[in-house]
Amino acid sequence: MLPVALTEIRRQLNPMRNLKSCINIDDLARLAAKKVPTPVYDYVEGGADDEVTLSRNCSGFQRYQIVPKALQDVSRIDTQTRIMGCHTSQPFYISATGFSGMMCPKDAELAGARAASKFGVPYTASTFSNRSLEQISESSDGNKFFQVYVLDDEQLASDLNRRAKAAGFKAMVLTIDTIVGGNRERDARSGLSIPPTLTVKSTFQYMRRPKWLLQYMLSDGANMGNFPQLPKVSLGDSHAFVEAMSKLFKKNLTWNDARNMVEQWGGPFAIKGIMSAADAVKAKEIGASAVILSNHGGRQLDGTPAPIELVEEVRAAVGPEMEIIVDGGIRRGTDVFKALALGANACSLGRAYVRGLSAGGEEGVTKALSLLKTEFERCMILAGCSSIDQIGPEHIRKIA
Ligand SMILES: Cc1cc2nc3c(=O)[nH]c(=O)nc-3n(C[C@H](O)[C@H](O)[C@H](O)COP(=O)(O)O)c2cc1C
């Protein structure tokens, strides 16, 4: 009797049983919680320090209201646009997330790249992918961007650059907000190690997800796909890992270095981690074609504004031509609509995508993208917009 009652309570608390039962992005998180070990789930969902920025990234959207335009012909709507020179079926795409082998041991990054390609949106491969740039590139025909962390070792850095170009990546994304790892206390408490290793503390957690554990043990999930020349990193906790990896980063990266990178790449180039109008203007001056307004999903510096709160002032500062991408807190199609109405060109998805990946691999990512597509399209219709260029400041109102 008691076990039945407990099962029922658990079901009530977490009714998500499969992808079909997920009707929004938060549901995918609930399902993900059942599929991956708790330390991995917390690694994805957690943020820095008190997670104030993490929650503000989402709540910031509530400061804006959508103003519908009445009696417009919305019998046909067109959501296509371009992001960093690439065609996209929706004004959103997949942001860089490292170590996908933890969330989806079987396919790691390949699951996201394939789903994005079939869906017609770009995919961003992280420097810290578990699969190599070449494997990710070959996994699908879709448009892909390469996210780079600048490495101290110039040879390694220029090799990565060359490989990304040779593998057909269409744009480079330079992340500038990770000079040291953020203080993620959930990881310290859960004892997560990257890559996950079986310690006395973690074994119980991992054994509660036997399917995940088996796939993880059978896969290359722990490999650093882009650095086969480096010894396999296996440290006792995620903080130690991030510190070890951050020793690889160039700590004295300046605007001059960024300018050189823009020139060397010679194609669409975004700077990710811009959090002020002044820095957005500098990015424009050094020749970047896009700024990604981002605080790394609240995982680095706690206490910053939400990216959505910066859009208007950044647009006013950089003018109409530069691409602005909002990255952080996107969980609903209406979030995407608000970002566009405030002056952004597109949004990028971090956890919205990783939740799908953890919940169901490629199928889960497709589900996440489909949910956002349906919500965004419904929002466009109800707001009276039949194409992306019709979404403008008249559709948005800020609450004081
Ligand atoms: C699990 C995880 C791993 C991430 N890894 C990277 C990374 O390797 N490179 C990077 O530039 N950003 C990384 N990010 C940050 C995302 O690209 C993105 O900026 C952030 O998740 C956006 O916030 P959101 O999750 O609220 O959408 C990571 C985020 C998560 C959740």
Higher-pLDDT residue of 247 and 291 is 291
189 pLDDT band, cuts 50/70/90, is: confident
Residue 194's pLDDT is 77
Cα 286 to middle of ligand 1, angstroms: 25
Average pLDDT over residues 268-283: 98
* C-alpha of residue 391 to centroid of ligand 1, in Å: 27
Q: Specify the pairing of strand 64-66 against strand 396-398.
A: antiparallel
* Count of Cβ atoms closer than 10 Å to residue 3 Cβ: 7
Measured from CB, residues less than 6 Å from any atom of ligand 1 are 44, 57, 95-98, 126, 128, 147, 175, 272, 294, 296-297, 299, 327-330, 349-352, 354
190-218 pLDDT, tens digit each: 878 777 776 777 777 888 999 998 888 88
- Mutation choice for ligand 1 from 36, 40, 59, 299, CB with most ligand atoms inside 8 A: 299
pLDDT for the residue 337: 98
For residue 247, the CA-to-ligand 1 centroid distance in Å is 19
Chain position carrying tokens 């309570």: 9
How many A from CA of 295 to the centre of ligand 1? 9
What is the number of the ligand 1 atom nearest to the C-alpha of 96? 17
- Give yes or no for residue 231 having a pLDDT over 50: yes
Q: Which residue has the tokens 């709540």?
A: 59
Q: What is the pTM of this model?
A: 0.93
CA-127 nearest atom, ligand 1: 8
Task: Considering only residues 16 and 166, tell me which one the structure prediction assigns the higher pLDDT.
Answer: 166
Give 294 Cα–ligand 1 centroid separation in angstroms. Answer: 9
Q: What is the per-residue pLDDT across 22-44, written as a single tens digit (0 to 9) for each? A: 999 999 999 999 999 999 999 99
Res. 235 pLDDT band, cuts 50 70 90: very low
Mean per-residue pLDDT for 249-270?
A: 93
Q: What is the predicted pLDDT for the residue at 89?
A: 98
Identified catalytic residue from 87, 239, 296, 395: 296
Superfamily of domain 19-185+250-398: Aldolase class I (3.20.20.70)
Choice between 292 and 158, residue whose per-residue pLDDT is larger: 292
Cα separations in angstroms, 272 against 95, 180, 226, 350: 10, 15, 20, 13
Give the integer Cα–Cα distance in Å for 376 and 367: 14
At 342-396, the pLDDT tens digits run 999 999 999 999 999 999 999 999 999 999 999 999 999 999 999 999 999 999 9
Please report the pLDDT score of residue 15 as a whole number. 65
| Ligand 1, pocket-test mutation among 43, 97, 129, most atoms within 8 A of CB | 97
Beta strands in 228-344 (DSSP E): 269-274, 290-293, 323-327
Is the predicted pLDDT of residue 10 greater than 80, yes or no?
no
Rounded distance from Cα 348 to ligand 1 centre (Å) = 10
Annotated active-site residue 296? The verdict is yes
Atom of ligand 1 nearest to the CA of 58: 26
Q: Which of 379, 386, 324 is nearest to 78 (CA)?
A: 386
Q: Nearest C-alpha to atom 28 of ligand 1 is from which residue? A: 97
Closest Cα to atom 16, ligand 1: which residue?
A: 350
Q: Cβ distance 112 to 353 under 8 Å? A: yes
Average pLDDT for residues 305-312, to the nearest whole number? 98
Whole-number Å distance between alpha carbons of 125 and 172 = 10
Percent of the chain with pLDDT over 70: 90
AA letter at 39: P
Q: What percent of the chain has pLDDT over 90?
A: 75
Instruction: State the closest ligand 1 atom to the C-alpha of 99, by its place in the atom list counted from 1.
Output: 3
Our mutation pick for probing the ligand 1 site, out of 25, 40, 95, counting the most ligand atoms within 8 A of Cβ, is 95
Residue nearest to atom 19 of ligand 1 (CA): 296
Mean of pLDDT values over 143-160: 89
Please choose from 52, 296, 355, 369 the residue to mutate so as to test ligand 1's pocket, defined by most ligand atoms within 8 A of CB.
Answer: 296
- Who contacts 231 (Cβ-Cβ below 8 Å, separation ≥6)? none
Give the chain's mean pLDDT. Answer: 91
Closest ligand 1 atom to Cα of 329: 26
Q: Which of 379, 361, 365 is nearest to 118 (CA)?
A: 365
* Domain residue limits, the chain: 19-185+250-398, 186-245
What is the residue with the minimal CA distance to atom 27 of ligand 1? 350
| Distance in Å, CA 126 to ligand 1 centroid | 9
| Residue 272 CA to ligand 1 centre (angstroms) | 10
